[in-house]
Amino acid sequence: MNSIDRIKSTVNFKASDRVPVIAQVFGHAAILADVALSDYVRNGELLALCQIKALEHYGYDTVFALMDVNVETEAVGSVLTYRTNNYPVVKSYALSRGTELDRLSVPDPYKAGRMPELLKAITILRSEIGDDVLVVGCVLGPMTLATQLLGIEKALYLAIDDPESFTRLLDFSEEVVIRFGKVQIEAGAHLPIVFDPSASPAVIPYQFFREFELSRLKNVFTSFRQAGAMANWLHIAGPTDSILGLYSKAGVDIANFDFCVDPLDAQRALPQTCLDGNIKPLSFVDAASEEIAAESSRLLNLFADRRGFILSSGCEIPPESKPENVAAMVSSVRHGR
């Protein structure tokens, strides 16, 4: 069974040779290859090369064409500051006021900002790896992109003070996300993961998520499925217990859950949806590999009779993580429980 077959079976709750393991290795692939993060996030060829090297090193089931959370906002007009050993940050947002939306247009993914480089990374990864290992692209969720276009504080206040303008901002963000994601699928991604940290219940209340974001995520996932995505994968960090039950309404096939969510609660909230998680990200930096192995084993046991489970970290494996800790998680699925 190759990784793709294994993940497909797992998503459909069918038997597979072992539990899939997805290390959320993004910038860590650059550190592992001794490449500056500032180069990694700007050069699609280099990103693909680092991801392939990391795959060869660890032997997990997925590679990621994922730069950082600022690709879309930069393509729309935000200005970034690039830093050698950190992800870039927004220097000035595309919008200074929520009422200025009319001057923005949906970016062309083949031309705007770093989008073409991300597409290049996807194309290289798919041509090198084929259908053995899952090639994952990345888009932001509409809520997160809205907060990245205006800045999170302004965006959240806009939602309350001028819901009409905020709704238009979300509509625009949804359009950007759908276009970018569909082009990633055309370029060879098996699926784009939807990364939506600003939709976390740590940031917005349950009702806000249900009213503003859920239908938009559904539109995004419906479009991706129609474009040929192998599955729909939603990643929202933080204490998502209260909103997990809504994911199936959005068409989510794989639901990431963070370290602070009880795995049994996640199982109860989504009995028929594949879950991936949830080792504490910081533990890849500061724990011993034996602790990672023990935590992996605990999770494998908790999900032993379920099938719909992918062993993973709760969120990104920090770039500075110890390689032996990532390896410990990966090797645990081969040893079984």
Partner 1 sequence: MRELNIQPLLEALLDGDQTQAVAEARKLCGDGAGHEWIVTEGIEAVMTQLDAKCTVEQFNLLEIMLVGRAVMKVMKDLYPTDVSSPHTKGTIVIGVLEGDIHDLGKNILKMILTAKGYRVVDCGKDCPVKKLIDTAEQEAAMAIGVSGLITTVIPQVRQVKDILAKRRLGCIKVMAGGAALKQASVESLNVDFVAETAFDGVRYLDQITGGKK
Instruction: Round to whole Å and give the CA distance between 321 and 236.
Output: 21
> Which part of the chain contacts partner 1 (CB under 8 A), choosing from 80-88, 171-179, 246-254, 328-336?
80-88
Is the CB of 13 or the CB of 208 nearer to partner 1?
208
Q: Which stretch binds partner 1 (CB under 8 A): 55-63, 93-101, 184-192, 233-241?
A: 233-241
Instruction: From 3, 175, 203, select the one nearest 105 (Cα to Cα).
Output: 175
| 156 touching partner 1, by CB under 8 A | yes
Stretch that binds partner 1, among 40-48, 86-94, 105-113, 289-297 (CB under 8 A): 86-94
**44 or 319: whose CB is closer to partner 1?**
319
Query: Which region among 51-59, 102-110, 224-232, 316-324 touches partner 1 (by CB under 8 A)?
Result: 316-324
- Min CB(133)–partner 1 separation in Å: 27
Q: Does 302 help bind partner 1 (rule: CB under 8 A)?
A: no
| 3-state percent helix, strand, coil for the chain, nearest multiple of 5 | 50, 15, 35
Determine, following the binding rule CB under 8 A, whether residue 201 of this chain makes contact with partner 1: yes
263's CB contacts (< 8 A; 6+ apart) are 257, 275, 277, 278, 299, 302, 303
**104 lies in the binding site for partner 1 (CB under 8 A):** no
Distance, in Å, from the CA atom of 239 to the CA atom of 184, rounded to the nearest integer, reads: 29
Distance between first and last Cα of the chain = 19
Beta carbons of 195 and 127 less than 8 angstroms apart:
no
Smallest gap from Cβ 201 to partner 1, in A, equals 6
User: Whose CA is closest to 129, among 40, 50, 66, 63?
Assistant: 63
Q: Does 285 bind partner 1 (CB under 8 A)?
A: yes
Nearest CB to partner 1, comparing residues 159 and 246: 159
Out of 157, 165, 225, 294, point to the residue binding partner 1 (CB under 8 A). 157
Least distance between partner 1 and beta carbon 242 (Å): 8
Q: How far is the CB of 329 from partner 1 (least distance, A)?
A: 16
Interface residue with partner 1, options 33, 104, 202, 294 (CB under 8 A): 202
Question: Which lies closer to partner 1 via its Cβ, residue 52 or residue 69?
Answer: 69
Helix axes 44-58, 115-129, angle to 10 degrees: 40
Please identify, using beta-carbon distances, which residue of 283 and 332 lies nearer to partner 1: 283
Cis amide bond preceding 278, omega within 30 = yes
Residue 181's nearest CA partner among 203, 169, 196 is 196
Q: Where are the beta strands (DSSP E) in 41-85?
A: 62-64, 79-83
